[in-house]
Amino acid sequence: MTALDEIKIGGLGASRRRVEDARFVRGRGNYTDDIVLPGMLHMEILRSPLAHARITSIDTSRAWEIPGVRLVLTGEMMAQRNLAWMPTLSYDTQAVLATDKVRFQGQEVCVVVADDPYIAKDGCDAIVVEYEPLTPVVNPLQSRAADAPLIRDDKEGQVDNTCYRWEVGDRAATERAFAQADVVSRMQLHYPRSHPSPIECCGSIADFDPATQKLTVYMTTQAPHIIRAAVALVAELPEHMIRIVSPDIGGGFGNKVPVYPGYVASILASILLGRPVKWIEDRTGNLASTGFGRDMYLAAEMALRSDGRILAVRMHADTDQGAFFADAQPTKFKIGLLHSAFACYDIGTGHITAQGHYTNKAPGGVAYRCSFRVTEAMFFQERMMQAAAVDLGMDQAEFRRINLLRDDAFPARTPFGFLVDSGQYGKCLRLGLDAIGYEQFLVDQAEARTRGRRLGIGISTMTEPLGAGNSREYDILGIKMFDSAELRVHMTGKAILRVGAKSQGQGHETTWGQIVAHELGIPAADVIVEEGDTDTAPFGMGTYASRSTPVAGAAISMVARKVRAKARKLAAHLLECSEEDVEWELGRLYVRGAPHRGATIQECAMAAYSNMPDGMEPGLENVAYYDPPNLTWPFACYIATVEVDPETGVWDVLRFVAVDDCGVRINPMVVEGQIMGGLTEAYAMSSMQFQTYDAEGNMVGSNYMDYLLPTAWETPGFELHEVVTPCPHHPIGAKGVGECAAVGGPAAFVNAVHDALSDTGVRNIDMPLLPDRVWQALQDGRDVS
Ligand code: MCN
Ligand code: CUM
């Protein structure tokens, strides 16, 4: 008998079709809003029209009079139950329903529960809230002004609008390096506020059963177990009586990591009413109040030697956190992982300082398709690299090449404390340059310039720390960032796999089965994957920061290996030999020296239930919790070529080449889908998307007329290439990939446009590069922020 063909059984490397799509393309997905429970009521939220105001009175009497209204909740009523404020995932507090002041436009003030959502909306309209307006603060500059109003006057000891201060690196060594520099390159920019904007908005159905005292919540969360822990701790309900279910999720992108007031209010309403309460957010609610990314101002300097080597970097970040510091991030890293900047380069030393600012905006800084603040770090790094190459008068590809970590440098410690363990950075860069035809493009570009045409090429090379974490350094609210998998093989060799992660569209139901197929030889099609139900799945920290493959994926390998170890004992029994003499090949165990005497994994499974050796516990199942030794370090090289129309400022992407090294690919097709999706978002952020606020704190971009999502029509084509450097510590050598393209992509587009303007003196146009901004920069020969 020959070994199984791994690709045929849907193992590692198979571009297996996504099994979840069978229900999605038929409209048979089961999203939160599809769930209808007997006796279910509906909840709507009344939001603040003002950005900053004291609440002087709330009159809910007319709302109560509307037939069909069952409950009106105010902040005061929440306060009576100690639920007006909730802790955030960053040890701050956030108002569930406002009691004293409103601190951003769109903040939750009251909720109305009624027989249907329309009555609940009417109920909201009937509530009269009187406000005494206060001066709104809409950016860090205003926030730190001496006469700025104190936004968080609810917090004891809070004397100004500073949310946190933080620093990392070696200040003294950095200063010494700058003193020795031949060239100092400087850069300032703003990474604008953007929104993950999943197609499905947030929502929850809380179902408290007064008879059993059990609380079940169906909700759009990327991390159901963290929610269960939070509900147990905040609402003081017994943890075993709380069941959180994340059904199908229509995109998360980081938007569904935080805990939102709507979830909390629906839970309290269900407990008070003893009936299921459904809350489904509308688009404006989603765009105006939940999970913003970025909004960071960066200033930096780079110390350079005239031969092109980077001696040191110095960076300062001012982040606009909005009214509540609500991002999820490891508690030891006050500003996400901003200090992953320059991790792929061999720079001598560096120093980063950061300050977070409260403003009258919705909570910001939630990672949008990035590991915490990594997107800002990589964008900044790559814009800085281009500016430095210009300052040195060096070719931008060559400048990168000489500073990238060399293959023999691994493992390498970065100046900010990370251990980067593997990569072939030079190879990725060369592959990208060859694919785009770099040298020829430079010739064509120069020739086009003589005819008044502006072509540009932008490169972005970066490594991203993915897979938080290792439990020594990474935790959320003190809970260590491991993950888990439970595998049960039934007697006929079919299996169910339950995982602590939770897909929002990434295809876990497809790819997790492939890991089992690889480890056990059970065809992927014979493995059902279940995620998102805290009553059945082992405790896991959820899906974000591209941690599922690095952490949960590793747990799947490990649990399958435990099962394989038991199968080996069963095989020894079936084959009447000693366990030491049993050899493994994919899907089959056989006697060493007598390969024709073997038992398939399915035969072993049957034996586990029908013919186990004396003294052996029946069954074939196990659970594994995995605490990774390090993050994974995928690498990417993205290259864009563009043409800018000097008459209009419009820029078109000519070509886009992506080279991604995410280690061993479980499912190449899924990986390519992740990269294309990420590049589409990168294109959107660099060309059209941002959410801003006017001087009064009114949000601009709370609907899809103002906040643009690219369609297939404007999205450029992407040419994908790969390099495989297996992760040295992951059981199957895989690294995370879900966010790389969204993280590294924007700088490629933005650098390309700036390259097209390289003779104009324009150093920086802030994203998004709207045509009017590019045109203005061209007219004035000056930066546009
Ligand atoms: N994969 C693989 N081989 C690898 C790495 C990954 O086949 N070497 C596969 C995985 O098995 C998984 C997918 O690619 O099916 C993404 O894996 P991974 O990089 O581990 O990322 P996560 O599953 O943890 O997903 C999180 C990541 C994040 S943080 C955001 S934000 C984001 C993203 O995924 N949100 C998404 N991609 C998204 N894609 C969709 N469709 N919807 C979202 O909300
Ligand atoms: Cu960073 S957004 Mo994703 O981590 O869910």
Q: What is the CATH number of the domain that holds 57?
A: 3.90.1170.50
> Using an 8 Å Cβ cutoff, are 189 and 298 in contact?
yes
How far apart (Å, rounded) are the C-alpha atoms in residues 587 and 599? 9
Q: What is the 3-state composition of the chain as percent helix, strand, coil, each rounded to the nearest 5?
A: 30, 25, 45
Residue 446: burial class (beta carbons within 10 Å; 0-12, 13-18, 19+): exposed
Over residues 496-508, the mean pLDDT reads: 98
- Three-state DSSP class for 770? coil
> Which residue CA neighbors atom 41 of ligand 1 most closely?
505
Pair (381, 452) in one structural domain: yes
Pair (548, 685) in one structural domain: no
Angle at 371 between CA 369 and CA 376, to 5 degrees: 80
Pair (490, 566) in one structural domain: yes
**Backbone angles phi and psi of 517, in degrees to 5:** -60, -40
Pair (535, 501) in one structural domain: yes
Residue 370: burial class (beta carbons within 10 Å; 0-12, 13-18, 19+): buried
Ligand 2 geometric centre to CA of 253 (Å): 5
Closest CA to 507 of 25, 9, 20, 14: 20
Query: Would residue 171 count as lying in a domain?
Result: no
Check residue 580 and give its pLDDT.
97
Check residue 742 and give its pLDDT.
97
Cβ–ligand 2 contact at 369 (below 6 Å): yes
Cβ–ligand 2 contact at 683 (below 6 Å): no
Quick one: DSSP state of residue 416?
T
Confidence check: pLDDT of 482 > 90? yes
Over residues 336-348, the mean pLDDT reads: 94
Task: Measure Cα distances from 234 to 56, 220, 262, 418 in Å.
Answer: 28, 19, 15, 34
DSSP string, 32-75: GGG---TT-EEEEEEE-SSSSEEEEEEE-HHHHHSTTEEEEEEH
Q: How many residues does the chain have?
A: 785
Closest CA to 327 of 252, 225, 258: 258
Residue 136: burial class (beta carbons within 10 Å; 0-12, 13-18, 19+): buried
How far apart (Å, rounded) are the C-alpha atoms in residues 670 and 365? 28
Question: Tokens 């993050």 correspond to what residue?
Answer: 631
Question: Tokens 């109920």 correspond to what residue?
Answer: 123
Confidence check: pLDDT of 234 > 90? no
Could you read off the pLDDT of 115-162 as tens digits, one per residue?
A: 999 999 999 999 999 999 999 999 999 999 999 999 999 999 999 999
> Which residue CA neighbors atom 1 of ligand 2 most closely?
370
Task: Measure Cα distances from 550 to 411, 469, 729 in Å.
Answer: 18, 9, 10
Question: Tokens 């609210």 correspond to what residue?
Answer: 477
Pair (621, 634) in one structural domain: no
Ligand 1 geometric centre to CA of 146 (Å): 44
Cβ–ligand 2 contact at 707 (below 6 Å): no
Cβ–ligand 1 contact at 740 (below 6 Å): no
Q: Which atom of ligand 2 sits closest to the CA of residue 368?
A: 2
Pair (654, 774) in one structural domain: yes
Quick one: DSSP state of residue 784?
B
Check residue 367 and give its pLDDT.
82
Over residues 468-473, the mean pLDDT reads: 88
How far apart (Å, rounded) are the C-alpha atoms in residues 361 and 289? 9
Confidence check: pLDDT of 242 > 80? yes
Query: Would residue 315 count as lying in a domain?
Result: yes
Separation of first and last alpha carbons in the chain: 68
Cβ–ligand 2 contact at 367 (below 6 Å): yes
How far apart (Å, rounded) are the C-alpha atoms in residues 562 and 559? 5
Query: Would residue 146 count as lying in a domain?
Result: no
Q: What is the mean pLDDT of the chain?
A: 96
Cβ–ligand 1 contact at 256 (below 6 Å): no
Over residues 508-528, the mean pLDDT reads: 98
Ligand 1 geometric centre to CA of 405 (Å): 26
Confidence check: pLDDT of 188 > 90? yes
Cβ–ligand 1 contact at 738 (below 6 Å): yes
Over residues 295-311, the mean pLDDT reads: 97
> Which residue CA neighbors atom 13 of ligand 1 most closely?
506
Could you read off the pLDDT of 552-611 as tens digits, one per residue?
A: 999 999 999 999 999 999 999 999 999 999 999 999 999 999 999 999 999 999 999 999
Q: Strand pairing partners for 209?
A: 214
Pair (436, 495) in one structural domain: no
Proximal ligand: closest to the CA of 257 = 2
Task: Measure Cα distances from 688 to 192, 381, 558, 655, 718 in Å.
Answer: 11, 22, 44, 18, 18
Query: Would residue 665 count as lying in a domain?
Result: yes
Pair (617, 640) in one structural domain: no
Complex ipTM > 0.95: yes
Query: Would residue 430 count as lying in a domain?
Result: yes
How far apart (Å, rounded) are the C-alpha atoms in residues 544 and 531? 14
What is the domain-level CATH number for residue 552? Answer: 3.30.365.10
Pair (638, 666) in one structural domain: yes
> Using an 8 Å Cβ cutoff, are 563 and 608 in contact?
no
Q: Which atom of ligand 1 sits closest to the CA of residue 369?
A: 31
Cβ–ligand 1 contact at 18 (below 6 Å): no
> Using an 8 Å Cβ cutoff, are 501 and 531 in contact?
yes
> Using an 8 Å Cβ cutoff, are 11 and 518 in contact?
yes
How far apart (Å, rounded) are the C-alpha atoms in residues 124 and 59? 11
How far apart (Å, rounded) are the C-alpha atoms in residues 497 and 244? 18
Query: Among the three residues 626, 642, 676, which one is the final residue of a domain in this structure?
Result: 626
Confidence check: pLDDT of 329 > 90? no
Over residues 68-91, the mean pLDDT reads: 94
Proximal ligand: closest to the CA of 738 = 1
Pair (325, 359) in one structural domain: yes
Could you read off the pLDDT of 406-434 as tens digits, one per residue?
A: 999 999 999 999 999 999 999 999 999 99
Angle at 483 between CA 480 and CA 489, to 5 degrees: 150
Q: Which atom of ligand 1 sits closest to the CA of residue 251?
A: 44
Cβ–ligand 2 contact at 465 (below 6 Å): no
Confidence check: pLDDT of 645 > 60? yes
Cβ–ligand 2 contact at 222 (below 6 Å): yes
Ligand 1 geometric centre to CA of 737 (Å): 6
Confidence check: pLDDT of 485 > 80? yes
Contacts of 143 (CB under 8 A, 6+ apart): 137, 151, 161, 320, 357, 358, 359
Number of domain units in the chain? 3
Check residue 328 and give its pLDDT.
77
> Using an 8 Å Cβ cutoff, are 456 and 644 in contact?
yes
Proximal ligand: closest to the CA of 367 = 2
Ligand 1 geometric centre to CA of 685 (Å): 19
Ligand 2 geometric centre to CA of 194 (Å): 13
How far apart (Å, rounded) are the C-alpha atoms in residues 700 and 694? 7
**Backbone angles phi and psi of 509, in degrees to 5:** -65, -25
Over residues 467-491, the mean pLDDT reads: 92
Confidence check: pLDDT of 620 > 60? yes
Check residue 3 and give its pLDDT.
61
Could you read off the pLDDT of 106-127 as tens digits, one per residue?
A: 999 999 999 999 999 999 999 9
Proximal ligand: closest to the CA of 366 = 2
Pair (613, 519) in one structural domain: yes
Pair (302, 207) in one structural domain: no
Confidence check: pLDDT of 2 > 70? no
Confidence check: pLDDT of 526 > 50? yes
Quick one: DSSP state of residue 102?
E
* Residue 717, both tokens: 């084509």
Closest CA to 220 of 240, 199, 189: 199
Query: Would residue 475 count as lying in a domain?
Result: no
> Which residue CA neighbors atom 36 of ligand 1 most closely?
253
Q: Which amino acid appears at position 529 of this protein?
A: V
Query: Among the three residues 626, 660, 689, which one is the final residue of a domain in this structure?
Result: 626
Question: Tokens 């120093």 correspond to what residue?
Answer: 351
How far apart (Å, rounded) are the C-alpha atoms in residues 730 and 162? 40
Residue 33 CB neighbours (<10 A): 18
Check residue 1 and give its pLDDT.
42
Query: Would residue 184 count as lying in a domain?
Result: no
Ligand 2 geometric centre to CA of 220 (Å): 14
Cβ–ligand 2 contact at 208 (below 6 Å): no
Could you read off the pLDDT of 394-405 as tens digits, one per residue?
A: 999 999 999 999
Query: Would residue 106 count as lying in a domain?
Result: yes
> Using an 8 Å Cβ cutoff, are 737 and 679 in contact?
no
Pocket test for ligand 2, best of 256, 257, 292, 551 (most atoms within 8 A of CB): 257
Cβ–ligand 1 contact at 538 (below 6 Å): no
Task: Measure Cα distances from 446 to 362, 566, 654, 657 in Å.
Answer: 46, 66, 16, 21
How far apart (Å, rounded) are the C-alpha atoms in residues 338 and 372? 8
Check residue 365 and give its pLDDT.
80
Over residues 712-717, the mean pLDDT reads: 95
Parallel, antiparallel or unpaired: strands 69-74 and 412-413: unpaired
| Domain extent at residue 612 | 21-28+483-626
Over residues 10-29, the mean pLDDT reads: 97
| Residue 533 pLDDT class (50, 70, 90 cuts) | very high
Query: Among the three residues 626, 658, 693, which one is the final residue of a domain in this structure?
Result: 626
> Using an 8 Å Cβ cutoff, are 531 and 224 in contact?
no
Which amino acids are annotated catalytic? Answer: 222, 369-370, 739
Could you read off the pLDDT of 370-396 as tens digits, one per residue?
A: 888 999 999 999 999 999 999 999 999
